[in-house]
């Protein structure tokens, strides 16, 4: 009984990761908005990496601008799907669980921004790539983990990685 409880608690850690991502994302965004002027850019590594305060009307990396309602619906559907399939997700391997946790934390982080002011706060600026935030990184990492798991998942009978 104790081992079953420990295993269940361990399997809930990836969902806690989503909460942690959301909190860190919002704390950093709050710091950026409180301490910088919109459009201000502070060099971290000159000519390479800056913290630049921008408001993004689109999705990750500025794609699909001004589709606020669409992204709100997508985030709410994702949240609903995770809640609905929560028990099934707890039976998945850790790659899927951590991927979903990252994806969910990032989606909720950007959803919160969209609900607050219609725009997403972005700040990581490498000058050769659109400005982005912690939630965007979490979404991309989560999606990558899920895709890697799906592409390389091995069934019990598989003997090679190509499945």
Q: What is the pLDDT of residues 79-126, one digit of tens each?
A: 888 888 878 887 788 889 899 999 999 999 999 999 998 899 999 999
The percent of residues in the chain predicted with pLDDT above 70, rounded, is 81
Confidence (pLDDT) at 28: 98
* Active-site residue, from 47, 136, 149, 158: 136
Q: Is the pLDDT of residue 1 over 60?
A: no
Spatial separation of the C-alpha atoms in residues 142 and 110, rounded to whole Å: 14
Identify the band that residue 162 occupies on the pLDDT scale cut at 50, 70 and 90: very low
Q: Does the annotation count 136 as an active-site position?
A: yes
Per-residue H/E/C for the chain: CHHHHHHHHHHHHHHHHHHHHHHHHHHHHHHHHHHCCCCCEEEEECCCEEEEEEEECCCHHHCCCCCHHHHHHHHHHHHHHHHHCHHHHHCCCHHHHHHHHHHHHHHHHHHHHHHHHCCEEEEEECCCCCCECHHHHHHHHHHHHHHHHHHHCCCCCCCCCCC
Among residues 25, 113, 122, 125, which one is catalytic? 122
7 classed as catalytic: no
pTM as predicted: 0.81
What is the pLDDT of the chain when averaged over all its residues?
84
What is the residue extent of each domain of the chain? 15-152
Distance CA 133, CA 29 (A): 8
More confident residue, 50 or 87: 50
């Amino acid at each position: 009984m104790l081992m079953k409880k420990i295993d269940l608690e361990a399997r809930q850690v990836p969902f806690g990761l989503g909460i942690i991502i959301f909190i860190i994302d919002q704390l950093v965004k709050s710091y950026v908005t409180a301490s910088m002027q919109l459009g201000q850019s502070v060099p971290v590594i000159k000519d390479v990496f800056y913290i630049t305060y921008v408001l993004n009307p689109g999705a990750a990396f500025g794609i699909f601008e001004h589709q606020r309602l669409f992204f709100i619906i997508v985030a709410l559907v994702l949240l609903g799907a995770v809640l609905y399939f929560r028990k099934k997700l707890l039976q998945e391997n850790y790659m899927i669980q951590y991927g979903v946790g990252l994806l969910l934390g990032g989606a909720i982080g950007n959803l919160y921004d969209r609900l607050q002011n219609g725009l997403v706060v972005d700040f990581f600026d490498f000058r050769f790539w659109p400005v982005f935030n912690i939630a965007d990184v979490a979404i991309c990492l989560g999606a990558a983990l899920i895709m890697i798991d799906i592409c390389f998942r091995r069934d019990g009978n598989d003997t090679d990685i190509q499945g």
